[in-house]
């Protein structure tokens, strides 16, 4: 069966029966291939390792999806050397040929969407809806960045002639080898987007995926191989951050680095990466994303948009809504609608068709959730949720209930720290100005949203909010759902380092450096 209809994170309609059938058939196929041992991919060759680690299903940790090579510092060095060797060839490939390969990779991803989505359901705990969106986004990253290169004419721009016999042009050229360190929560889309930007620009890549989701990264790299990228253009080294990640950051031959993950890890990587010499890096480091509900809001729209944003992918999105500032005149009614919508979400095995929220990724995330709930019970009020699911069908997975809290004192840790779990705090305010002030009192500035039917309030929100991505009246996701070519996705303040969003019109340029070429004839 071919690719499904495109599903984005903001899609509101349910997938049709053909989509469910395609997913279920792919799920059976994926299950039949579980339990194998998977090597590293270096210079186009498979490399076995004497050390492996198990990749387990977060919905049932008894199920081992596969055993993956635990890479070493030497494996990283060899992968970087392979990427360096291939860069000499790949960087000289005419940009139109690179674009064709990148576009082909996007099309192959679309063709294998059901298989990849089923795998993510098992490995990352993603619902069908979220997993199909992940693959669709990955494919669109490749296609959109190919379009960017075409629209820019390969970033080759003639400049002024001071004399008739003098020719000058500005040319953006690739750096070399890029380290790509990808997260677990969008194991195909974010790895794909980072790799696509580097590759279409003429760089080569060493990919280090999150240890919770190596299988999805492996399938992505295999698809890039099938698309026709030369051996060594994309290398995969699986293993721990302490060993593989550190060796990659320390490798002097790496010309640039891109990372998506927590602020703490991202800032530590940046300091370490530039300890010896300055090199370009791109960091996307999470958020504490607010939504504002004014007295002039459509409360049905607000309740659904905030619930979907806070609890989609089990709250494990850097763009997830985690703070709500609601006008006290409508707070009671809004809270009732938000709680009602939240209670309607089915929690369970994400590969089942009606499940909205699957498990958390691992035991550490469950511990974070439990600690937050305990603090909320002590210092505020649990409106709904606040429980781990540890019995029956949930006994062997990392399941928790989506949780809404209120009555926390301003300045509380739970209103400040990124948690990355399905947990949203509601605060009453007296005005839009107060809401904006509180929303901006954060070290983060990734996404934000407002619900108001008053155009003047929406304009004031857009002018005053300190966030890289801002939405108004988005039922599909109050603060979530960015898409390549539709919404640039990048944060201000501690949420990002470059000020240029993924999936936006300025992204590919970050993987290139300018050379001015003057020829006097």
The residues annotated as belonging to the active site are 284, 318
Q: Give the helix/strand (H/E) hosting 311.
A: helix 299-311
What values do phi and psi take at 37, rounded to 5?
-100, 130
Cross-strand pairs, 289: 321
Structure tokens of 503?
């999936």
How far is it, in rounded angstroms, from Cα 85 to Cα 323?
Answer: 48
Pairing of strands 156-158, 234-236: unpaired
What values do phi and psi take at 282, rounded to 5?
-130, 120
Question: At which residue do the structure tokens 């990734």 appear?
Answer: 446
Largest CA distance in the chain: 81
Choose among 437, 442, 481, 478: nearest CA to 297.
Answer: 478
What's the chain's length in residues? 521
Q: What is the 3-state secondary structure (H, E, C) of 166-196?
A: EEEEEEEEECCEEEEECCCCCCCHHHHHHHH
Q: Give the helix/strand (H/E) hosting 20.
A: helix 17-31
User: Could you tell me the CA-to-CA distances from 233 to 10, 86, 178, 195, 516 in Å, in that order?
Assistant: 33, 6, 10, 10, 27
Choose among 232, 269, 224: nearest CA to 247.
Answer: 269
User: Could you tell me the CA-to-CA distances from 126 to 58, 185, 439 in Å, in that order?
Assistant: 10, 9, 29
Please give the angle made by the CA atoms of 200, 204 and 205, to the nearest 5 degrees: 110
| Burial degree of 39 (CB within 10 A; 0-12, 13-18, 19+) | middle
How far is it, in rounded angstroms, from Cα 227 to Cα 240?
Answer: 28
Choose among 192, 188, 187, 174: nearest CA to 256.
Answer: 174
Choose among 431, 429, 377: nearest CA to 404.
Answer: 377
Cross-strand pairs, 42: 45
DSSP notation for 321-346: EEEEEEETTTHHHHHHHHHHHHHHS-
First-to-last alpha carbon distance for the chain, in angstroms, is 59
Choose among 282, 292, 316: nearest CA to 491.
Answer: 282
- Contacting residues for 129 by C-beta, under 8 A, at least 6 apart: 7, 11, 15, 356
């Amino acid at each position: 069966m071919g690719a499904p209809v495109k599903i984005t994170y903001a899609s509101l309609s349910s997938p049709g029966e053909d989509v469910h059938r395609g997913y279920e058939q792919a799920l059976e196929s994926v299950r039949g291939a579980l339990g194998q041992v998977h090597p590293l991919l270096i210079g186009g060759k498979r490399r076995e390792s004497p050390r492996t680690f198990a990749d387990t299903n977060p919905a049932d940790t008894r199920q081992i999806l596969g055993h993956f090579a635990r890479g070493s510092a030497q494996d990283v060095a060899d992968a970087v050397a392979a990427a360096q060797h291939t860069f000499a060839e790949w960087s000289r490939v005419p940009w139109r040929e690179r674009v064709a390969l990148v576009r082909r990779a996007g099309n192959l991803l679309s063709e294998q969407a059901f298989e990849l989505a089923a795998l993510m359901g098992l490995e990352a705990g993603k619902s069908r809806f979220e997993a199909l969106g992940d693959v669709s986004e990955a494919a669109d990253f490749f296609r959109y960045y190919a379009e960017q290169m075409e629209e820019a004419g390969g970033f080759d721009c003639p400049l002024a002639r001071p004399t008739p016999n003098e020719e000058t042009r500005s040319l953006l050229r690739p750096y070399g080898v890029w380290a790509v360190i990808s997260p677990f929560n969008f194991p195909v889309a974010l790895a794909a987007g980072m790799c696509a930007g580097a590759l279409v620009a003429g760089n080569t890549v060493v990919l280090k995926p999150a240890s919770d989701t190596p299988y999805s990264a492996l399938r992505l790299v295999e698809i890039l191989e099938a698309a026709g990228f030369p051996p060594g253009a994309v290398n995969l080294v699986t293993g721990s951050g302490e060993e593989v990640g550190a060796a990659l950051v320390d490798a002097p031959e790496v010309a640039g680095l891109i990372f998506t993950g927590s602020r703490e890890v991202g800032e530590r990587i940046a300091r370490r990466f530039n300890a010896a010499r300055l090199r370009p890096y791109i960091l996307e480091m999470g958020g504490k994303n607010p939504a504002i509900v004014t007295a002039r809001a459509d409360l049905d729209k607000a309740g659904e948009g905030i619930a979907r944003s806070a609890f989609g992918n089990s709250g494990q999105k850097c763009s997830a809504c985690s703070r709500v500032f609601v006008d006290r005149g409508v707070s009671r009614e809004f809270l009732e609608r938000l709680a009602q919508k939240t209670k309607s979400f089915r929690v369970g095995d994400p590969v089942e068709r009606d499940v909205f929220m699957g498990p958390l990724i691992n035991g550490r995330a469950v511990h974070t959730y439990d600690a937050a709930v305990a603090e909320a019970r002590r210092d505020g009020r649990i409106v709904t949720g606040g429980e781990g699911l540890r019995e029956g069908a949930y006994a062997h997975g990392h399941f928790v209930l989506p949780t809404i809290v209120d009555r926390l004192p301003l300045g509380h840790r739970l209103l400040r720290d990124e948690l990355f779990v399905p947990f949203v705090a509601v605060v009453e305010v007296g005005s839009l100005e107060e809401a904006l002030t509180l929303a901006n009192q954060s070290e983060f500035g990734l996404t934000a949203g407002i619900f108001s039917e008053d155009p003047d309030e929406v304009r004031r929100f857009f002018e005053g909010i300190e966030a890289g991505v801002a939405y108004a009246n988005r039922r599909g996701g109050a603060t979530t759902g960015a898409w390549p070519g539709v919404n640039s996705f990048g944060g201000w303040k501690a949420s990002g380092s470059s000020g240029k969003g993924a999936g936006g019109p300025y992204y590919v340029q970050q993987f290139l450096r300018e050379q001015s070429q003057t020829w006097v004839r």
